[in-house]
Amino acid sequence: MELLSPREAAALALSLLDLTNLRDDCDNAAIEKLCAKAQTPYGNAAAICIWPRFVAYARSILGPDHAVRIATVVNFPSGDLPVATVIDETKKAVEDGADEIDLVIPYRKLLAGDDASVTEMVEAVRAACPNSCLKVILETGELKDAGIIRRASELAIASGADFIKTSTGKVAVNATLEAADIMLQAIQNSKKRVGFKPAGGISTVADADLYLRLAQTIMQPNWIMPSTFRFGASSLLDDILGVLSGNATLRASGGY
């Protein structure tokens, strides 16, 4: 990948950012602030990522067909809900105005050897939101083993994922370059147009640039764009704006 200047990396990261508030204390006022923060003097974030209960309110703020997309989470963060419940969550979110669904796989069942549970969940949610972008969260920090992360990636891709995503941001270990490498290789090997989303713990432009470089090394030139790459983060925006404005900024608390 051609070396990007800090400003170039910051501008690219902004365009790829799913600006996130999945905090337990989130409320309508926080959603209003998030929608405003996603629209910066330097361009918009790709999306906001919020709890399902706030989707309708966010849509009322942003209006229809806004450039900032609305993503929400289902089967989150445990990955343990029944398929029927997750289908209901998904359909309600889409009715409320969600553009994108971030689904946690039943990763504990996968760790126990139940590959079919992942396929069943992803296929069911894919069918429940046929016109939405489906990002499938593997929870790689809990899977840990490279072979299992690779298998989770392959199962999600085969079952209809538009993106595979590292993490919920709710466990001890979230996005890592090691997991990203495995997931990006799985995408490349699939020969499908599937995107990648590292999430959790990416708080600086320098951090983000490492993932951008890795993706560009593995994938084709010019592969990185909002339809194929996202960052799940909150405090990253403060560093992006600090770099773009030339001013140091205070870090926001994490969006997870």
Q: Is 165 a residue of the active site?
A: yes
Q: Residue 222 and residue 228: Cα distance in Å, rounded?
A: 10
Helices (H), the chain: 6-15, 28-37, 55-62, 83-96, 107-111, 115-128, 140-143, 146-158, 177-190, 205-218, 236-245
Q: Is 197 a residue of the active site?
A: yes
Q: Which of 96, 102, 162, 238 is catalytic?
A: 102
CA 244 to chain CA centroid, nearest Å? 23
Residue 29's contacts (CB-CB under 8 Å, 6 or more residues apart) are none
Q: Which of 96, 135, 162, 165 is catalytic?
A: 165
- Burial of residue 4, with CB atoms counted within 10 A of its CB: 0-12 exposed, 13-18 middle, 19 or more buried: middle
How far, CA to CA in Å, does 175 sit from each of 30, 109, 115?
25, 21, 22
Q: Residue 39 and residue 42: Cα distance in Å, rounded?
A: 8
Q: Decide: helix, strand or coil at residue 101.
A: strand
- Burial of residue 169, with CB atoms counted within 10 A of its CB: 0-12 exposed, 13-18 middle, 19 or more buried: buried
Which backbone phi and psi does 74 adopt, to 5 degrees? -135, 155
Estimate the share of the chain in helix, then strand, then coil, as percent rounded to the nearest 5.
45, 15, 40
Q: Which residues are catalytic?
A: 102, 165, 197
